[in-house]
Amino acid sequence: MSSFEGKVAFITGGGRGMGREIALEFARQGGDVIISDIASDIEAIPYSLASKEDLDETKALVEAEGVRCIACVADVRDQQALDDAVAAGVEAFGRIDVLSANAGVYDWSSSRLWETSDAAWYAQIGVCLEGVWRSAKAVAPQMIKQGRGGSMVFTSSNVGVEGAPCSAPYVAAKHGVIGLMKTAALELGELGIRVNAVLPSTTDTKINDHPAGWRRASGKPDGTRDDYLEAVHQWSILPNTTALPPQATAKAIVWLASDSAEYITGVALPVDAGHLTLPGFNPWPIRD
């Protein structure tokens, strides 16, 4: 994979988890990094989101790789905040070559679609879909101004191409990300800007690793972290595979953004240990 020396990557949701690993992977390849995160909680989301301290820790870890990094507090639902982050990055580094639109949240409350609250719907659609659109909207003019080149990678999910019960807002958002990616690839392709998406399977970050996530994944009302990790073994083809490490998707994103993937655009790339290849079955058969 080619080096990112002299290039700049902007990663949303960079405070911790997958976003942190994406930032570190770009740094290891020599790229300067801009990271953003909300640095506060969202009431409708039942776990704590990244803090300012998390964001600062990611910045320090990236800089320890010998590259430059700036960290911005920005809610991806706020266009002005994203525009300001882009402006700060351009002021610091002069350019932006890569966008990793990665920020995401998930409500593990297990509500069926007709029971889902407006707050839960708008939080997940807002961060997971609107946030991707707003991130691309913030970065595209700068990439266009720089001339041909540039790459955007949107984070969707396995459930961007399949259903999942009691997850209507998240599933709808992640399906929407793929449609948005394909449209962006068409609109930006003639300008030499590539746009792709990754579809991670269950990943061992805070979005899943908390008591509500353990209970939901394991199907046990008192599910533990060990129960969650054991249950996820059933979701992959590859042996000894449970919830994926965040590095798995980070490496795929950096590869898609690299010159090694220079002729790849409009692609939704699963990073799922074969999950989407598994034959389907009905875990709740009714025998009336």
My answer on whether 52 and 175 are in the same domain is yes
Give CA–CA dist 161/207, Å, rounded. Answer: 19
My answer on whether 231 and 261 are in the same domain is no
pLDDT at 129: 98
My answer on whether 230 and 170 are in the same domain is no
Domain boundaries, position 80 = 8-202+246-268
pLDDT beyond 70 at 68: yes
Residue-wise pLDDT for 232-248, tens only, equals: 888 888 888 888 999 99
Q: What percent of the chain has pLDDT over 70?
A: 97
My answer on whether 152 and 85 are in the same domain is yes
pLDDT beyond 90 at 5: yes
Q: What percent of the chain has pLDDT over 90?
A: 74
My answer on whether 215 and 163 are in the same domain is no
My answer on whether 142 and 226 are in the same domain is no
| Residues known to be catalytic | 170
pLDDT beyond 70 at 128: yes
Residue-wise pLDDT for 102-127, tens only, equals: 999 998 776 899 999 999 999 999 99
Residue at 278 is within a domain: no
Residue-wise pLDDT for 20-58, tens only, equals: 999 999 999 999 999 999 999 999 998 899 999 999 999
Chain-centre distance for alpha carbon 214: 20
pLDDT band at 195 (very low <50, low <70, confident <90, very high): very high
pLDDT at 100: 98
